[in-house]
Amino acid sequence: MLIHKWRDSDINQMPEVGQLGKYSIPKGYVNATQMCHANNKSWGHYKERKSTKAYWTALSNDIGIPISSLVIEVDGYGSSQGTWIHPEIAIDLAQWVSVEFRIWANRTLMKVMMSQEPVQQQSMTQVQLLAAIAKQLAEQEQHLLQQQQQQTEILHRLKAVEVEQDRVNTPCGHKYSVVGFANLQGLEISVKEAGTKGRKASALCRKQGIEIERIHDPRFGKVGLYPESVLIEVFCANQN
């Protein structure tokens, strides 16, 4: 409970949502009974005014809170008993009491709402930001997993092509593509270098009267299959 001092009197205000017996009092609500007693005024005189009732109705319609929740009467709880009112109604009550009391109420009672709401808004923004970052990281991780799965599938298909190449037999031995033969020897080869060696292997095959078979490679399209003996000669010639 937040206790304000107006001259020699205490005026209670709820710093957060609180429970008084069976009554739930929202944050910022003020004890109107204490406000009136501190100024020798009657709460009944204020609430029966036509302008007061009109103001309550307009405020209720504007913020969407019923009057019964804007003005809460609490019975039998010591200094907490009496009527608890919305902070905007508390300002209107203070204006009815006196100019001095209105100035005090504006500076004191509204401080609870003005000082804490921005903190709450900032906290919510941070929570939303963290949630957005977590969602983004999860999406990135999912995308990375999908890419890894696709790469694994491609490698499996390439391996199947190389195995199929290895199964093609001729009198001159197994037939391989240039890249397949390089992989078999544990050699790294660029696309440009593979093309050069492929042309040399084709020339040797034509010279020796060997038919060049072609298969589809998902990386390069149609590629030639050359006898192992021809590829050995091509690779050894380049090394020399």
Q: Extract the tokens encoding 87.
A: 């902070």
Is 20 in the same domain as 52?
Answer: yes
Which structural domain range is residue 23 located in?
2-109
Is 141 in the same domain as 216?
Answer: no
Give the helix/strand (H/E) hosting 195. helix 191-208
Is 201 in the same domain as 229?
Answer: yes
Is 10 in the same domain as 81?
Answer: yes
pLDDT digit string, tens, across residues 47-101 = 999 999 999 999 999 999 999 999 998 876 565 678 999 999 999 999 999 999 9
Is 197 in the same domain as 234?
Answer: yes
Distance between CA 120 and CA 127 in Å, rounded? Answer: 11
pLDDT digit string, tens, across residues 210-236 = 888 888 777 777 888 988 889 999 998
206 falls within a domain: yes
The count of domains in the chain is: 3
Q: For residue 24, what pLDDT band results from cuts at 50, 70 and 90?
A: confident
Is 139 in the same domain as 211?
Answer: no
160 falls within a domain: no
Is 135 in the same domain as 105?
Answer: no
Which of 80 and 17 is assigned the larger pLDDT? 17
6 falls within a domain: yes
Cβ-contact 110, 52 below 8 angstroms: no
List the single range of 21-25, 125-129, 184-188 with lowest mean pLDDT.
125-129
233 falls within a domain: yes
Distance between CA 159 and CA 161 in Å, rounded? Answer: 5
Residue 174, classed as helix, strand or coil, is strand
Is 182 in the same domain as 231?
Answer: yes
